[in-house]
Chain A
């Protein structure tokens, strides 16, 4: 497995488009993470109710709630997660475009090896993304949080694990699309069309189905954060916020990761390359 990852890494070592996308992703994340506290300060000043915003800020960035908040924002459906998806789509479709997948097989890869290599790359990207979120969380927490005991700092870390699962599953979903459509442009279009179609589908389908649609299932792992700020329920504002990661959501998500991997393997196995 490590051997496969090393080979995948060699494939991108001087691939400018790949490093550009990674840089773009990291920059977007940095702007977001370091920009948000400043943005809150700015709004606070303009609104004339600075105190309320300061309280909001202190609560949002407070350990351990910060882990849930930051993971929620970073995994948002139409947000920067997509950049990682684009990277995976490019990495896979270029192998079809340049027929290098064919060269890999001729030289002694099995089709399973090819798929496993890409899965390793997905895990690497998901780890990379999770580590960035973790480091940013530490930075934002220590600069803004009131609470800073060890227990508080490292509490609610399961939301980072949840984030890792969600991003991995999303990237496997992108991998499946790339293997299915082979062409970069078509895969992009299919991916974005699906992003738009699923909410419509969700709306049309009977109520019980929404946890089982793939992107919904991924997004349900980390839902709207239940921080101390919005714990208050009133008659007008009666909404359930997430207090823990539900086992059922994790199970559905893992099942989808397995399903998309199996479908990808099935397609690769039965296709002439």
Chain B
């Protein structure tokens, strides 16, 4: 797999605050890479460093396996924190400046403004826009010139529910075209629904890195119940392939050993002559998983 972004031992301090602590991550081409973490966990600082606006305090990073240069940044579309435009210029003139800096044709401006539904307002000054429109213009600006990588830092900030849904669909749509996306967010739902890979940051340190499904499968809870709870309890105790068992009324909550599926459990219980009245896997949400990771 080709690496789009490689970060090695990145470090940044703001006085006493260790904003990024020895961080190493690799973003592969074509992935939708989520950076998770509470406010102040170093997400934006990390992105600021790889986008050239914040100086790193140590370590290195590389885009497209190439030495750092402004040319690399022209292949990236990014939104960092908030929409940044000249307030006294129209949407169109703002995007012309972006196109000039990126050295791409003006022809693409119409396309990106139509994607975010701002073409009708192209001649309005940026300062007359609502926050949601500003955010959409930022997304249009990031899309300009078909970049190979998109970086979205809190892309749905300030959008209404419909806007959030639209942006999420847009991200999934872009990902389908094979464009790599790096998405920083503290909105877990957003990441769960759109990302393939995830890194969890806390106080600048990496807590977890891997596929989203791996995070979700870290420890699933199995619920099981039968008409005779006492017999079921004895049988479960004899099963042995259970890490943890809790009784919750008539139900038992189990954490199965690695490699053991609910099919294995059910087959075992049938052999013992026990018919279950309830058997289900409760998937933890990314949020529960995330809070668990942070509390460790």
A7 with B88, Cβ < 8 A, contacts A14-B93, A106-B53, A270-B55 known: no
Nearest chain A CB to B87 CB, angstrom units: 6
Whether the pair B93, A13 counts as a contact (CB closer than 8 A) is yes
Smallest distance from the beta carbon of A267 to chain B beta carbons, Å? 12
Task: Report the minimum CB–CB distance from B63 to chain A (whole Å).
Answer: 12
Bound-complex Cα distance A273 to B84 (A): 13
Flag the segment in A41-49, A96-104, A245-253, A257-265 that touches B. A96-104
List B residues 118-152 near A (Cβ within 8 Å): 125, 141
Query: Residue A108 contacts which of B53, B71, B93, B96 (CB distance < 8 angstroms)?
Result: B71
Of the listed stretches B21-29, B100-108, B202-210, chain A binds B100-108
A243 within 8 A of B: no
Q: Is A203 an interface residue (CB 8 A)?
A: no
For A, the interface residue count at a CB cutoff of 8 angstroms equals 27
Q: Is A6 an interface residue (CB 8 A)?
A: yes
CA–CA, A272 and B102, complex, Å: 22
Q: Given A100-B86, A102-B80, A103-B84, do A6 and B53 touch, yes or no (CB 8 Å)?
A: no
- Asked if residues A108 and B97 are in contact (CB atoms below 8 Å), the reply is no
Cβ–Cβ < 8 Å partners of B100 in chain A: 3, 6-7, 10
Q: Is A27 an interface residue (CB 8 A)?
A: no
Does the CB pair A98–B87 fall under 8 Å?
yes
> Chain A, 7-19, contact with B by CB distance < 8 Å: what is the 0/1 string?
1001101111100
Q: For the complex, give the distance between the alpha carbons of A11 and B141 in Å.
A: 16
Answer whether residue B51 sits at the interface, using C-beta atoms and an 8 A cutoff. yes
Which residues on A sit within 8 Å (CB–CB) of B252? none
Pair A14/B89 contact, Cβ less than 8 Å: yes
A234 within 8 A of partner (CB): no
Residues of B within 8 A of A99 (CB): 82, 84
**Contacts of A270 on B, CB cut-off 8 Å?**
55
CB distance from A95 to the nearest CB of B (A): 9
User: How distant is the Cα of A248 from the Cα of B73 in the complex, in angstroms?
Assistant: 44
B86 close to A11 (CB less than 8 A): yes
User: Does B59 have its Cβ within 8 Å of any Cβ on chain A?
Assistant: no
Is B55 a contact partner of A272 (Cβ separation < 8 A)? yes
- Asked whether any CB of chain B lies closer than 8 Å to the CB of A52, the reply is no
Q: Tell me the minimal C-beta distance from B22 to chain A in angstroms.
A: 19
Binding site for B on A (CB under 8 A): 3, 6-7, 10-11, 13-17, 98-100, 102-110, 113, 270-273
